[in-house]
Amino acid sequence: MKKYIPNLVTCLNLMCGVCACILALWGYFFQAYCCILAGAACDLCDGALARLLRVTSPMGKELDSLSDLVSFGLAPALMMFTWHFKLNCSGVPHPLAFVPLLMVPFAAIRLARFNVGESNSHQFNGLPTPASAMIAASMIAYGHTCAIAGTDSAILNLLNGGWAIPVVASALSLLMVSRIKMFSLKGKIGVKHYILAGGALALVAGIAAIAPRGVMLVGYVALFTLLLFTIYILLAFFGGDMQ
């Protein structure tokens, strides 16, 4: 019986991704973000459970990648697509609206490459798909909560422009298939992990002090994850050989 437990958690990740896709298409952006967050929690737990119960299997690895493609590839892409479409397309889809959908095949390539070629659990080539999803989804979710609250913010102003979403989606897509060395958040604790943890504490203090008031709690969580994973990318670019 215990061999099915990790796969069950992986399927919960998949269901969270499916729900996020539907909510994104309906325009419920921060709710879709919550589903992606829940999927990320399941993604963290399934592998840990498999190792703890000693029931790792090739099927579990493939199922995990398929679930990740939906939760961290398709769902955030649909959030960006729907936001751009609703604001910038008056009944007729503009070609730029479809740019975020590039994240789906690029995420598929990233996941396939990981499955067949990467054995180092402490370091990856390219931006992991969950990190890409967190940046894309949290950006839209924070903008949505600011719009609901009637609060002006720099991120909302960027999202309301016609170019920010295609640019961010293109950048995330390219980062996923790049050869840039990214450290694993689940790997051996090192200097970069301590810097990221320090950044997280600084972000909590900064958001509490200067973030716009009146935004729902989920909006502050989205802002936190957006800035945290931006720091994660910056550490890859400028962190050098820090271990």
Residue 48 has a pLDDT of: 81
Return the number of other C-beta atoms located less than 10 Å from residue 11's C-beta: 15
Beta-bridge partners for 33: none
Residue 243 falls within a domain, yes or no? no
**What pTM does this model have?**
0.91
Q: Are 130 and 64 in contact (CB under 8 A)?
A: no
User: What would the pLDDT profile of 143-195 be if each residue is shown by its tens digit?
Assistant: 999 999 988 888 988 898 878 999 999 999 999 999 888 877 766 677 877 78
Residue 46 falls within a domain, yes or no? yes
Q: Give residues with Cβ within 8 angstroms of 73, minimum separation 6.
A: 103, 104, 106, 107, 108, 111, 129, 133
Residue 74 falls within a domain, yes or no? yes
Residue 185 has a pLDDT of: 74
| pLDDT, average across residues 86-104 | 81
**Total domains present in the chain:** 1
In angstroms, what CA-CA distances link 233 with 126, 134, 182?
10, 12, 8
Query: How would you label 117-135 residue by residue, b for 16+ Cβ within 10 Å and e otherwise?
Result: eeeeeeebbbbbbbbbbbb
Residue 183 falls within a domain, yes or no? yes
| pLDDT, average across residues 187-216 | 79
d(CA 188, CA 164): 35
* CATH number reported for the structural domain that contains residue 69 in this entry: 1.20.120
Q: Are 96 and 81 in contact (CB under 8 A)?
A: no
Q: Are 44 and 12 in contact (CB under 8 A)?
A: no
User: What would the pLDDT profile of 39-48 be if each residue is shown by its tens digit?
Assistant: 999 999 988 8
Residue 110 falls within a domain, yes or no? yes
**Percent of residues, the chain, with pLDDT higher than 90:** 51
Query: How would you label 19-31 residue by residue, b for 16+ Cβ within 10 Å and e otherwise?
Result: bbbebbeeebbbb
**Is pLDDT above 80 for 240?**
no
170, 70, 84: which is closest to 129 by C-alpha? Answer: 70
Domain carrying residue 234: 2-238
Residue 146 falls within a domain, yes or no? yes
User: What would the pLDDT profile of 223-234 be if each residue is shown by its tens digit?
Assistant: 999 999 999 998
Residue 11 has a pLDDT of: 95
Q: Are 43 and 95 in contact (CB under 8 A)?
A: no
Residue 49 falls within a domain, yes or no? yes
Residue 243 has a pLDDT of: 56
